[in-house]
Structure 1
């Protein structure tokens, strides 16, 4: 049987920080941010519309390593965040970069919500910047956070921010959108905002990644200590009783249980199952409702840094970079790779079916 996986030519030259597919239903474009100070735009299709070897379309250079990237209202605009402390909008057809705002430290995450035209960034200066892209006033609302953010994800209505000290804040996006019209006259547009919910992570160790369910029902989070937690937004006791955590990305080496960080999580847009990627170089698919592993793929050459499903759910992109687990601080030539898996019709389907 022919392999349903291929590697991407012309990958970044340094560690990959994020990978996102275009939100357009039939698009095969994706963007990758990297410590090589660039954002790379690829397409799985060639000029004839055939999927095979992903083609590098454009590169957008930054002043410092780029830590996150996401698409905006369409696949012709992207937003970036990085160690230059800036949140940038890039217009792809013209290659124009516009600085939306500057934080007071590196910017760890940036996300976009189409329903409310919101761009939200989270920085190590312990703030969120909230932008309304459809507003005349481009000054962001600044929301203080209790500690450093590590990961951020959103749904149509909620924003989840995972921070240091195992803190999690869940914000109502409509409430944030309203605030963008009320910030004038406040000190530096800084507003103390009560989150919709405050939670403490059910994982005992530092959060590495958080990813929201596509049906707006909840989220999964992962830690540096080989565990994933699945939780629901509904605050009712009945719903909260459903939350659980499980061990994963562990290997027995010389009779010793070696535990790896779970670096990446991504939900399938159609089935609601999710993929996890670890420092052990392994990618697994999980059914969060049935609490079962669906499958595990062969080991990749090094640590899995990022994962993303295409908008139609047909492809899973896997970014591989040597990490601290490999005992490497620097990345050698050819060690950064991106693999694309073309998924079978039911490959990512849950055990219970959906």
Structure 2
């Protein structure tokens, strides 16, 4: 029998993964949700009917997943494989391999490529129209300065965040070398990178409870806009406890964004006005991943312990679906003081 939690948390999906959730993402075409997990599974849910539509397995933990279109998707595994799935037929095959666990996978609608980042310190681009396992499926391999931790796409731009606080920005139309090589403005290890929907820059989060807002424009005026801020921290008895910020998700309509931390909170931010818009009630454990639906009316929240405090008893992994109120995500207009009389 399903456990019913307070409505403040949102609606809980049935049949969640049995081990740590690594990512979840909504389809761009429906309310289908794809979820990857340490239990070696990739799961497809129909959120509107709260039904598990399909389940696919790797030979090891699945570290990331994404949609190709509403009928197919990709996953990245600790078993070094990149896999693709046809949801309607239940068929799957191996698109290709890395020499180490594959941490990230994204699909570029602009170029029709699947893009993967691995702990083997490479980025690879794949043509999903090729036959799985065939060399001609791989269209390029690009060395990175360190292990790849996070990828994000907007239009023809790809942002790659690696260990060692390196950030490479590519133009997918010319992958011969990065368009920009940067160092994160945050002092500690990067957890997540996410591009602004308007294509002007990207947000980075770190293990040290901070988010940095970066811009692609390298002019002095463009770089003057960047800033960072503290978040996901708690103060008790004069002592600050700092939590990693695991995930960043931008609202597709308003460009505001949500962050999820190991403190179990989801915060919504207005980056332009440098304000927090909303904080949801605390979830049972760490927030491992977030995703807004295509129309921004739903937010999927993965409440899943991320082992930042080592192996200990923790709440079961769960996926919650929140109905989003416009007031929680819409930027508030700036109020300017009246001119002197």
TM-score when scaled to structure 1?
Answer: 0.88
Unaligned runs of 5+ in 1: 47-53, 177-192
Instruction: Check conservation: 2:9, 2:283, Cα contact below 8 A.
Output: no
Identify which of 332, 335, 349 aligns with 2:316: 335
Question: Which secondary structure state, in structure 2, belongs to the residue aligned with residue 10 of structure 1?
Answer: coil
The residue correspondences of 1:82-101 to structure 2 (distance < 5 A) are 82-101=77-96
- Cα displacement string for residues 21-40 of structure 1 (whole angstroms, at most 9, x for unaligned residues): 0011xx11101000000001
Change in 2 beyond 3 A, CA 1:36/1:4: closer
Q: Matches of 1:211 and 1:131 in 2, distance apart?
A: 21
Distance 1:98 1:63, change over 3 A: same
Give, in angstroms, the shift of residue 139 of structure 1.
2.7
CA 1:294/1:21 → structure 2, altered by over 3 Å: closer, same or farther?
Answer: same
Q: 1:248 to 1:2 in 2, by over 3 A?
A: closer
- Identify the residue that residue 19 of structure 1 maps to in structure 2: 24
Contact 1:4 1:343 in 2 (8 A): no
| Other-structure match for 2:210 | 227
* TM-score of the superposed pair, with normalisation by structure 2: 0.91
Q: Aligned equivalents of 1:258 and 1:329: distance in 2?
A: 19
In structure 2, what is the equivalent of residue 114 of structure 1? Answer: 109
Matched position secondary structure for 1:346:
helix
Structure 1 CA distance, aligned partners of 2:26 and 2:230? 28
The aligned length equals 325
Instruction: Determine which of 60, 63, 78 is the counterpart of 1:64.
Output: 60
Aligned residue number for residue 12 of structure 2: 7
CA distances 1:185-229 after superposition (whole Å, capped 9, x unpaired): xxxxxxxx3200011100000000011111111110000000000
Asked whether the equivalents of residues 8 and 281 of structure 2 are also in contact (C-alpha less than 8 Å), the reply is: no
Contact residue 170 and residue 195 of structure 1 kept, 8 A: yes
- Report SS of the residue matched to 1:159: strand
Match of 1:317 in 2: 300
Equivalent residues of 1:4, 1:342 under 8 A apart: no
What does 1:109-258 correspond to in 2, within 5 Å?
109-134=104-129, 137-176=136-175, 193-258=176-241
Relative to structure 1, the CA distance from residue 12 to residue 351 in structure 2 (aligned partners, 3 Å threshold; closer, same or farther) is: same
8 Å CA contact 2:124–2:138 kept in 1: the answer is no
**1:148-205 Cα deviation digits (max 9, x unpaired):** 11111111110000011111000001213xxxxxxxxxxxxxxxx3200011100000
Query: For residues 202 and 213 of structure 2, what CA distance do their matches in structure 1 show?
Result: 6
Is the CA contact 1:323–1:329 (under 8 Å) kept in the aligned structure 2? no
Number of the residue aligned with 1:296: 279
Partner of 1:42: 45
Q: How far 1:319 sits from its partner (Å)?
A: 0.1
Aligned-partner Cα distance in 1 for 2:80–2:213:
32
* Partner SS for 1:257: strand
SS of residue in 1 equivalent to 2:222: helix
Cα gap change, 1:331 to 1:30, in 2 (>3 Å): farther
Deviations 1:32-85 (A, max 9, x none): 000000001111222xxxxxxx2211111111100000001x111100001010
Cα distance change on mapping 1:323 and 1:2 into 2, 3 Å: closer
Match of 1:188 in 2: none
| Over 6 Å off, 4+ runs | none
Distance 1:164 1:66, change over 3 A: same
CA distance in 1, matches of 2:260, 2:11: 18
Query: Displacement of 1:4 after TM fit?
Result: 7.9
